[in-house]
Structure 1
Amino acid sequence: MFNAITGVLVLAAILAYLNTRFIRLPMTIGIAGLALGLSLLMVAASHLGASELRSAAVAWSKHLAFSQLVLQGMLSLLLFAGALDLNGAVLRRYAWQVAFLSIVSTVVSAALVGAGVYLVLQWCSVPLSMAYCMAFGALIAPTDAVAVIGALRRSSVPQSVETAVAGEALFNDGVGIVLFSVFSTMAASGQQSEIVSALTLFLREAGGGLLLGAISGGILFFMLRSIDRYKVEVMLTIAAVMGGYALADVLHVSGPITTVVAGIIVGNQGRQQAMSEQTRASVDTFWELVDAILNAVLFALIGLEGVAITATVRSWFPAVAAVALTLLARAATVGAPVALCPKLLRLPPASAAIMVWGGLRGAISIALALSLPSGTQRDTVVMLTYAVVVFSVFAQGLTIERVASRVSSAKPV
C-alpha cells in the first residue's frame, strides 16, 4: 500500500509540473486530463497486443484500494479544508436554502436519475436491478464538494450563490452517502428496505453527524482558545478531523457531516475568537497545502481509474443517457426552483445556470461505485459513474468560469 501511494504522489507531482509548465489548464483538470490520457494510451496499447502495462496498472489500482483511500482517508481532510472557508454569517442567512438543496433536491434527484437509468437500461437490454439503479442515483445525485469548491475559487460569482452552492456541496455528500448505504445494502442483499427503517437510518446518520460535529468543533474551539502555540493548534485541527471522522464511523453517524460542521465552527468562531494572527496564518497555510496536494492526488486517481473501466460499443448510449439524466435531474431539482422562486430562495434567477452547470461530480462518486459488491452489475454502475464524472470534470469544469461571468453581474434578490 505504501509503495502504491508513493507512486500516486510522484505521478501527481510530475503531472502537476507538466500542466503548470506546458498546458496551463486549471490544476486539477490538467492533472486529470494528463492521467486520463495516460490511461487511454495503456488501453490502446493493450488492444495492439502490449497488454502487460495495462494489466500491471489495473493490478496496481486494485492494490491501491481507491474506494477506501478516498472515503476513509482523504474525504475528511478535504471536506474540513473546504468548510474552513465557508462564511458562517452568510451560511446562517441561507441556512434553509442550503438545507433544501442538500436534502430535498438530492433525494428527489437520486430518485429521478435512478428511475431514468433503469428505464434506459431496460430499453437497451442491459441487466441492472432497480436497487443498483437507485444506488447509482444516490451516488451521482450529490455534487462533489472537492470539485465544486475548486471551480468556485476560479470563478467570480455573488457571495450568496457561492455560499449556497458550496454549502449544498459540503452537506449533500453526507446525505448522498447515507442514501447510497440504504440502496447498496438492498442491492447486496436483494431485499427491499422498509421506508420507516430507511428514514430512521437517514435521520440517525444526518442528525448524529450534526450533533457530533458540533461537539467536536466546540471542544476544538475551547482547546484552541486555551493555548497560543500554532504548531500544537495545527496538530489539534488534524486530530479533530481524523478522530471525529473515525468516531463517527464507530457511532454509525455521518462522518462527512461531522467534519463539515466542525470545519465551519473552526473556520468562523475559531478563527475570530480562538486564534492569534500567527495561528490563523499557520492553520490557513497548512490546510491550503493539504487541500492542494490531496486535490492533485485525487484528480490524478480519477484519470488513472480509466485504465480499469470496461466499456463496449453497447455502453456508449447508456453512458450518454446517464450524463443527460444527471443534468436534467439537476435542472429540475435545483435550477427550476431557483429560476421560478427567486424571492423565496433569495438567489438571483440567473444563478440557476451556474447552480446546474456548477454541480460537478468527482472522485467520491467513483469511490462509492467501486465499493459495491463485485460483479457485472457493479461494472455497469462504475462505467456509468465514470462517464458522468469525466463529462463533469472536463466539459463542466472547463466552461464554468464562462457561465459564472454571466451570473456575476446578477444582483442578489
Structure 2
Amino acid sequence: MLDIAAICLVITALLSYLNHRFIGLPTTIGVMAAALALSLVLIGLDAVGVAHGLRAYEESLLRSIDFSDVLMQGMLSLLLFAGALHVDLSELKAYRWQVGALAVLGTLLSTLAVGIGMWLVLPLIGLDLPLMYCLFFGALISPTDPIAVMGILKSANAPKELELVIAGESLFNDGVGVVIFSLLLGMLASGVAPTPGQGLELLLHEAGGGLLFGWVLGYVTFRLLKSVDNYQVEVLLTLAAVTGGYTLASALHVSGPLAMVVAGLMIGNHGRALAMSDTTRGYLDMFWELLDEMLNAALFVLMGMEVLLVAFSLHELVAAAVAVGVTLAARLLTVGLPVRLLPRAFNLPAGSWKVLTWGGLRGGISVALALSLPAGPERDIVVALTYGVVVFSILAQGLSIGAVTRRAIRCR
C-alpha cells in the first residue's frame, strides 16, 4: 500500500509541476487534463502495438486502488472540512433558506428529472438501462461536487453572495445526494420500495443525524481548542476530529459528509474567533490549505487516469454526450429557472441563474458512487455515463465558468 501511495504522490507532483510550469491552468483542471491526456496517449500507443507494458502497468496500479473507498472513506472528510473551514457562517446564515432549498429540493427534483429523462432517451440511441439504474445515475450526478466547485470558484471572480450560495449548495447537496443514493441502493438490495414515510425517516436519520452529530463534534472540538494554547496540539485536534468523527458518523449510520461540513463551519467561525491565538490561526489555515491543495491534486490525477478502466463503446460515447445535455437541462429546470423566476426569494444579482446552471460542476463523488454499484453491465453503463459528464463538467464548464460569470453578471 505504501508503494502505491508513493507512486500516486510522484505522479501527482510531476503533473502539478508540469501544469504550473508549462500549462498554467487552475490546478484541479490542469492535473486532471494532464492525467487524462497521458492515459489517452497510452491507449493510443497500445492500439498501435507500442507501450503495451506501460498501459498494463497503469491499469494494474489503478485496479489496486479502490477509488470509491479512497474518496468516500479517506479523502472526502478532509476535503469537506477544509472547504467549510473558510466559509463565513454569518454570511451563509443570510442565505440559509436559499442554500437549503437548492441543496435539498433541487437535488431531489434533479434526481427524478435526470433519472426519468435518461430512461426515456437511452432506448432511442440503442441502450436499454432499467429505471432503477437511471435513478441511480440521477442521484449520483445531481449533487454538485464541493471539491470541484470550490477549487474552481476561486478563479471565477463571482459576486460574493453568488459565490457563497454556490459554495454552500455544493457543501450540503452532496450529503443529500449520498442519502438518496443509499435509499435507492437499499431498494435494489431488498427488492422492495420503501413507503414515503420510511424514505422520509431515513432522510431525517441520515441527514438530520449528520447535521446534529456535526454540531456536537464541532462543539466538543471547540471546547478542547479553547482550553489550550499550543498550535501543534490544536492542529492535531482538528485532524483527529475529522478522521475520528467521520469514522464514528459511519458507525452511527448518519451522514459523514454533512457532519464534516457542520464541524468545519463551527471550527472555522466560532473556533477561529474565540478559541485560537493569531499564531494558531495562521498555522491552522496553512495546514488545512496545504492539505486541501495536495489531496485535490491527487484526486483529480486519479480521476484523469481512471479513463483506462472505463469501457466506452460507440453507443456509450453517444449516451455520455446525451447525459451531458440531460444533466444540464435538469440543472436549468431545478436550479436555474427557480432563481430566474423568483429573484426576490433568492436575492441574487441578475444573471446569477446562468452561473448557477453552468457552474454546477460534478467530480470525484459522482465517480466514486458509480463505482460502488454492484458489478454488472448496468453498472458499466452508469460508470461510462458518469465519467463522461464529469470530464465535460471539469474541462468544459470549469474552464469557461469565469467567462460565463463575467458575461452573465455584466450583461444583466
Q: Same fold (TM over 0.5)?
A: yes
Q: What is the CA-CA distance between 1:410 and the residue it aligns to?
A: 8.2
Give the TM-score normalised by structure 1: 0.97
Residue equivalent to 2:200: 199
Structure 1: how far apart are the matches of 2:411 and 2:287?
34
Structure 2: how far apart are the matches of 1:38 and 1:186?
39
Contact 1:132–1:187 under 8 Å retained in 2: no
Q: Which moved more, 1:34-43 or 1:47-56?
A: 47-56
Structure 1: how far apart are the matches of 2:21 and 2:69?
32
Q: Which moved more, 1:181-190 or 1:269-278?
A: 181-190
Residue equivalent to 1:23: 23
Structure 2: how far apart are the matches of 1:320 and 1:251?
39
**1:96-135: per-residue Cα shift (whole Å, max 9, x none)?**
1110000000110011001111112222332321111101
Q: What is the CA-CA distance between 1:409 and the residue it aligns to?
A: 5.0
Taking every aligned residue pair, what percent have the same amino acid on both sides?
49
Q: What is the CA-CA distance between 1:259 and the residue it aligns to?
A: 0.2
Contact 1:79–1:145 under 8 Å retained in 2: yes
Residue equivalent to 2:348: 347
Residue equivalent to 1:157: 158
Residue equivalent to 1:7: 7
**1:174-193: per-residue Cα shift (whole Å, max 9, x none)?**
00001111112333454433
Structure 2: how far apart are the matches of 1:157 and 1:408?
8
Q: What is the CA-CA distance between 1:45 and the residue it aligns to?
A: 2.5
Structure 1: how far apart are the matches of 2:289 and 2:42?
33
Is the aligned partner of 1:76 residue 2:77?
A: yes
Is the aligned partner of 1:280 residue 2:281?
A: yes
Residue equivalent to 1:263: 264
Alignment of 1:32-51 (within 5 A): 32-50=32-50, 51=52
Q: Which moved more, 1:43-52 or 1:336-345?
A: 43-52
With over 3 angstroms needed to count, the CA separation of the structure-2 counterparts of 1:407 and 1:159, relative to structure 1, is: farther
Contact 1:338–1:349 under 8 Å retained in 2: no
Contact 2:35–2:304 under 8 Å retained in 1: yes
Q: Which moved more, 1:54-63 or 1:219-228?
A: 54-63
**1:329-379: per-residue Cα shift (whole Å, max 9, x none)?**
111111111111111111123111111111100011001100111111111
Is the aligned partner of 1:242 residue 2:231?
A: no
Instruction: Show structure 1 runs of 4+ deviating over 6 A.
Output: none
Q: What is the CA-CA distance between 1:270 and the residue it aligns to?
A: 0.8
Contact 1:338–1:348 under 8 Å retained in 2: no
Q: Which moved more, 1:402-411 or 1:335-344?
A: 402-411
Residue equivalent to 1:308: 309
Q: What SS does the corresponding residue of 2:64 show, helix, strand or coil?
A: helix
Residue identity in the other structure for 1:103: V
Listed as ranges, the gaps of 5+ residues in structure 1 are: none
Residue equivalent to 2:96: 95
Structure 2: how far apart are the matches of 1:190 and 1:401?
45
**1:180-231: per-residue Cα shift (whole Å, max 9, x none)?**
1111233345443333222211110000001000000001111111110000
Root-mean-square deviation (Å): 1.4
Contact 2:28–2:152 under 8 Å retained in 1: no
Contact 1:81–1:287 under 8 Å retained in 2: yes
Residue equivalent to 1:120: 121
Structure 1: how far apart are the matches of 2:197 and 2:42?
48
Structure 1: how far apart are the matches of 2:310 and 2:55?
11
Structure 1: how far apart are the matches of 2:407 and 2:48?
46
What count of residue pairs does the alignment treat as equivalent? 411
Q: Which moved more, 1:19-28 or 1:76-85?
A: 19-28
Residue equivalent to 2:54: 53
Residue equivalent to 2:388: 387
With over 3 angstroms needed to count, the CA separation of the structure-2 counterparts of 1:184 and 1:256, relative to structure 1, is: same
Q: What is the CA-CA distance between 1:164 and the residue it aligns to?
A: 0.6
Contact 2:331–2:357 under 8 Å retained in 1: yes
Q: Which moved more, 1:37-46 or 1:294-303?
A: 37-46
Is the aligned partner of 1:137 residue 2:125?
A: no
Q: What is the CA-CA distance between 1:408 and the residue it aligns to?
A: 5.2
Q: What is the CA-CA distance between 1:252 and the residue it aligns to?
A: 0.2
Give the TM-score normalised by structure 2: 0.97
Residue equivalent to 1:318: 319
Structure 1: how far apart are the matches of 2:289 and 2:411?
30
Listed as ranges, the gaps of 5+ residues in structure 2 are: none
